[in-house]
Amino acid sequence: MRILLKIRRIINPPYSSRDLLIVLGVLVILVSIPLTVNLSFQRPSFAPRASSAPTFDSVSSTTGASNYILSWPHTVGTGAERLLVVGVSSRLANRVVSSIKYTSLPLTKISSTSGDDFDAHAELWYLVNPPSGTHNIIIQFSGSSVFAVVGATSWSGVNQAAPLGDFKFINGGSDTPSVNLASALGEVVVDVVTSDHGRALTVGAGQTQQWNISFGSTISGGGSSKPGGPSTTIFWSLATADEWAIGAVSLKPAPTPPLPPCSNECSPSGARQCTDGTHYKTCGSGYDSDSCFEWSLATSCPYGKTCSGGVCSTSGGGGTSGGGGLGGSGGTLDSLQLEISVPYLVGSLKAKVEVGGVSKEVEVTGGNRSYTLDLKGVNLSLNKEYNLVVTSGRTLVRKVTFTPTSSSTNLKVGDLILGDVNQDNTNSEKDASFLISSVTNQTNVGDLNADGIANSFDWAVLLTNFGKTGD
């Protein structure tokens, strides 16, 4: 109730707290109504840009009964923000890896694990920004006669400052080696698995096998990768239950560069601005490299017309002559060229145009557009003042007064005003008060503009009024 009283003091409507509570209830209901009105001004509305997941580059593997050293070639591509990961599966874990190098560059150990009797051992190592090209991976063991299966994968698009996320290493004795770790969307989980006695390995569902080798009846080793998630499980299957060891690590993607600042921005799309007396520029409907609306190059007005207020015309005032005096209808208005702007509209809508007791329907789209109204046979006299009203569901409203002097007249209507519920050509506290009255008296819940339909325009009206006066 304290929050409700605070909102009431901010908006200060001439209604009770009960009426205001009804309005807030409607707001909750309307959250589920899809918006069809784009309320962004300068920078287009984008969802947060997610970083791209690390990209697989290449894989290599080999086996050996090591006499202290095991070496094999691996090729790293030219992609940016590279990472090399080496997995080691070995038997006789008391003779573990002392060091790993790629060419002359040392790798860093992530972690390792061994079975209870040291017959299954697994390790993972990594190197940030390995050089491109083909170079040898050289593993130095702490002792001789080590049976080993080794593999390496290289990646691009990996965070160079903090390449590793969560990692887990466990061991056991069964036919289903598995490990679970916390990862995230946009990350990639890589693993290494070891099985004693060369038991055949089968990679788990959803994983991409990178290598899978049995070294006789002594040891088996494999490696795979899998897209990350909030909780990621890596698992393999053994042909026969035996001792195993498994480890996995999540690779973090390189951060996405932020959008550059807007330059030469404009809004809304389709808006025009005079650059001098005979030229204008238009706010672009697309985006450039900085993801902002941009002004076009200057465009010349048609011959004989001048630019004022972003509009090319042959005379001032509300109406401009289209050509050729009174035209061929003996002093009546035959055609009205309307320039209507709906800056935030996505898609199209039906609008009603009323002038001189005549009602016409036009379909309008977003931005600044021209629409032709055929008035032949209506007998609207020239040189007489008329009121023209454009409405759409009592939500988008505009009223203008003009005096046609030619059978074909151009009229700049301007912006249809979002949220002008009481239709007075302005958005003010009066619209908010009118809105509250409408809500408290209506029978169709959510129909804020009292047009008989609860739709996304009602949501837009609420945002326009209370977003300005009650935020």
Query: Which pTM does this prediction carry?
Result: 0.51
Helix-helix angle 17-30:456-469, to 10 degrees: 130
Helix (H) or strand (E) holding 26: helix 17-30
* Residue 25 in domain: yes
Give yes or no: residues 120 and 146 share one domain.
yes
Determine the Cα–Cα distance for residues 324 and 104; give it in Å rounded to an integer: 86
Alpha carbon 58 to its chain centroid, in Å, reads 30
Residue 298 predicted with pLDDT over 70:
yes
Give yes or no: residues 25 and 63 share one domain.
no
| pLDDT, tens digit, 9 for 90 and up, residues 25-80 | 544 444 333 333 333 334 444 444 456 899 999 999 999 887 789 999 999 999 99
* DSSP-assigned beta bridge partners for residue 280: 274, 299
pLDDT at 100: 98
Classify each residue of 410-427 as buried b or exposed e, where b means 16 or more C-beta atoms within 10 Å of its C-beta.
Answer: bbbbbebbbbbbbeeeeb
Give yes or no: residues 219 and 303 share one domain.
no
pLDDT at 206: 96
Give yes or no: residues 372 and 225 share one domain.
no
Q: What angle do CA 24, 28, 30 make, to 5 degrees?
A: 110
* Residue 139 in domain: yes
Give yes or no: residues 225 and 79 share one domain.
yes
pLDDT band at 18 (very low <50, low <70, confident <90, very high): low
Mean pLDDT of the chain: 78
Helix (H) or strand (E) holding 147: strand 133-156
Residue 470 predicted with pLDDT over 70:
no
Q: What angle do CA 204, 66, 104 make, to 5 degrees?
A: 90
Q: Return all residues near 453 (Cβ < 8 A) that are at least 6 apart.
A: 393, 444, 447
| Residue 445 in tokens | 């819940």
pLDDT band at 435 (very low <50, low <70, confident <90, very high): low
Residue after which a domain boundary falls, among 190, 218, 251: 251
Three-state secondary structure of 213-224: EEECCCEEEEEE
Give yes or no: residues 24 and 98 share one domain.
no
Give yes or no: residues 27 and 92 share one domain.
no
Instruction: Fill in the DSSP letter of residue 16.
Output: -
Q: How many domains does the chain have?
A: 3
* Residue 263 in domain: no
Q: What angle do CA 451, 455, 458 make, to 5 degrees?
A: 70
Residue 389 predicted with pLDDT over 90:
no
* Residue 159 in domain: yes
* Residue 48 in domain: no
* Residue 82 in domain: yes
The top-scoring range by mean pLDDT among 211-220, 293-302, 359-368 is 211-220
pLDDT band at 247 (very low <50, low <70, confident <90, very high): very high
* Residue 265 in domain: no
Give yes or no: residues 89 and 219 share one domain.
yes
- The sign of the dihedral angle between the CA atoms of 440, 445, 447, 451 is negative
* Residue 435 in domain: yes
Give yes or no: residues 245 and 387 share one domain.
no
Give yes or no: residues 83 and 197 share one domain.
yes
Give yes or no: residues 220 and 79 share one domain.
yes
Q: Name the residue with higher pLDDT: 397 or 279.
A: 279
Q: How much of the chain exceeds pLDDT 70, in percent?
A: 69
- Residue 70's domain comprises 55-251
| Residue 29 in tokens | 């209901």
| pLDDT, tens digit, 9 for 90 and up, residues 334-388 | 888 888 877 666 777 788 888 877 888 888 887 778 888 888 877 888 888 888 8
| Residue 193 in tokens | 């698995």
Give yes or no: residues 86 and 214 share one domain.
yes
